[in-house]
Amino acid sequence: MQSPVLATLTSFDWNLWIHLVLVKTRCLILGAPYTYVVPKLWTETIEAHRHAVHDAILDTAWRLVAEHGVTSVTMSQIAKGTGIGRATLYKYFPDVESILFAQHQRHIAGHLQHLVQLRDLPGDAMQRLEAVLEAYAFMSHQREHRGSELAALLHRGEQLAPAQQQLTDLVRDLLTDVAQNGQLRDDVSPDELATYCLHALTAANSLPSETSIRRLVKVTLDGLRPPSGPG
């Protein structure tokens, strides 16, 4: 019976595996047996290859969906476009839907990483908050243009919940920093204000221009500021 590990190896992996077996063979030099330690590079090379194949599958599937629509893409098309066999593709993913979910998760992770970078920039907390909210608004705007079929497939609550929580926590922490500078209204908690910001900015998905998106961000920020005194 074939090992589950060996069953996942591609032809490229097999060549590396043969090398690993050879270098692990006990040898005799000057009459003394020794075992050659497998260089870390071999393991890293195999993992890098698998990661490259994984990313190529995601990129190919996303391109095919953009060209033909989500319901028209098959595993055979993805395998051919990636330059691998169907058997190899099925070792990475069981079906098209799982590939699209993986690509979507990678896309979301990239967005979150960008927002974290904006949050960590030097400068005033309110300026950093504005940068994060504006970037999120533009992300919401771009999301609207993926097509209804794909959006329905990808934007399921259970799939987005962890990322949504990370995003809410990120905005809440920024709002807490803004509050410490006296620039945030104190009649609503930062948690509620974070939810307000994210829900308000989803309206960017139907706005027609960058100017209108930036106006939406400004209106959202105005709702966070302490109320003006009488007069």
pLDDT tens for 52-64 read 999 999 999 999 9
Q: Is the pLDDT of residue 22 over 90?
A: no
Quote the CA–CA distance of 198 and 201 in Å, as a whole number.
Answer: 5
CA distances from 109 to 17, 47, 79, 212 (A): 32, 20, 25, 26
Which class is 96-231 in CATH?
A: mainly alpha
Rounded distance, CA 221 to CA 180, Å? 16
Q: What is the pLDDT at residue 194?
A: 97
Name the 3-class secondary structure at 16.
Answer: helix
pLDDT of 13 > 60? The answer is no
- 187-231 pLDDT, tens digit each: 999 999 999 999 999 999 899 999 999 999 999 999 999 987 554
CA contacts within 13 A on the Cβ side of 5: 3
Instruction: Quick: pLDDT tens for 122-173.
Output: 989 999 999 999 999 999 888 655 555 555 555 555 666 888 899 999 999 9
Question: Are the C-beta atoms of 100 and 61 separated by less than 8 Å?
Answer: yes
Q: What mean pLDDT comes out for the span 33-39? A: 46
CA distance 137 to 163: 16
Digit-coded pLDDT (tens) for 62-110: 999 989 888 899 999 999 999 999 999 999 999 999 999 899 889 889 9
